[in-house]
Amino acid sequence: MTQRIAFQGEPGAYSHQACHETFPEAEPVPCPTFEDTVAEVRAGHAELAMLPVENSIYGRVADIHRMLPESGLHIIAEAFVRVHINLLGVPGAKLEDVKEAHSHLVLLPQCAAFLREHGIQGRVSPDNARAAREVAERGDRHVAALASELAAEVYGLDILAAHIEDHAHNTTRFLVMAPEIDMTRRGEGTMITSFVFRVRNIPAALYKAMGGFATNGVNMTKLESYMVDGSFSATQFYADIEGHPDDENVRLALDELGYFTSELKILGVYPSDPRRR
């Protein structure tokens, strides 16, 4: 039976690319929203979900951080995808024909220099893959989309200009989610443990909570804070650390963290993607 993996967006989206690169044999399942993506897995219609969590240009995907603790899913892997942005046009169109380029609001500024140089007006679309689909349906050589090579393949478009992003390091980190947590050690590299926590309402609680990681030599690669339920007094933290909960130093650090927190939840234990570094 073919494994199914859900992602947010239309076929050809960068999340689809992440699925294709990470699980080339799996059947991709496009979903309208992140919530729908999670629901597909919880309902048993897909075995895995591919969710973007942060990008090297525009930072974290805030909606995902809020969803993770209540999603009912667990992180079993991470995937880093290089975001190459391409100008896609209808077959036979040339770069000099293009007057408008449609794409997601986040992608347009990342190609600002190229668009300005060629006198192309950026137009906002809800989704870059949707922009590619609509360009194909419209059939106008003056209108193009900013999207992936995969989108060009899916919708039969020509790549009029490749890799036009302003920054060469544009990369998105994705989390692979599954219904059950996998605590086994996998791969030859470093294991990553992800968790969320809320500190107790005592002076210097966060400072004291973090002390256990320093004294036990545990490398914390990410610490993000965000409000809970719109409250200015309730803050939740998301963290990634290097190591496995069974490692002695990680166990001691988490024990100390637990003393200063009112809530602590392990979201996943998974191998570090080689592209992380």
Which residues are known catalytic residues? 172, 174
Token pair for 251: 């166990």
Token pair for 277: 């570094």
Residue 145 CB coordination number (10 Å): 33
What is the distance between the alpha carbons of residues 149 and 146, in angstroms, rounded to a whole number? 10
Secondary structure (DSSP) of 144-204: EEEE-HHHHHHHT-EEEE----S-TT-EEEEEEEESS---S--SSS-EEEEEEEEE-SSTT
Phi, psi (rounded to 5 degrees) for 198: -125, 135
CA distances (Å), 81 to each of 196, 219, 220, in order? Answer: 24, 23, 22
Phi, psi (rounded to 5 degrees) for 74: -130, 150
> Sign of torsion, CA 207 213 269 223?
positive
Token pair for 154: 């899916």
Residue 23 CB coordination number (10 Å): 19
What is the distance between the alpha carbons of residues 98 and 111, in angstroms, rounded to a whole number? 15
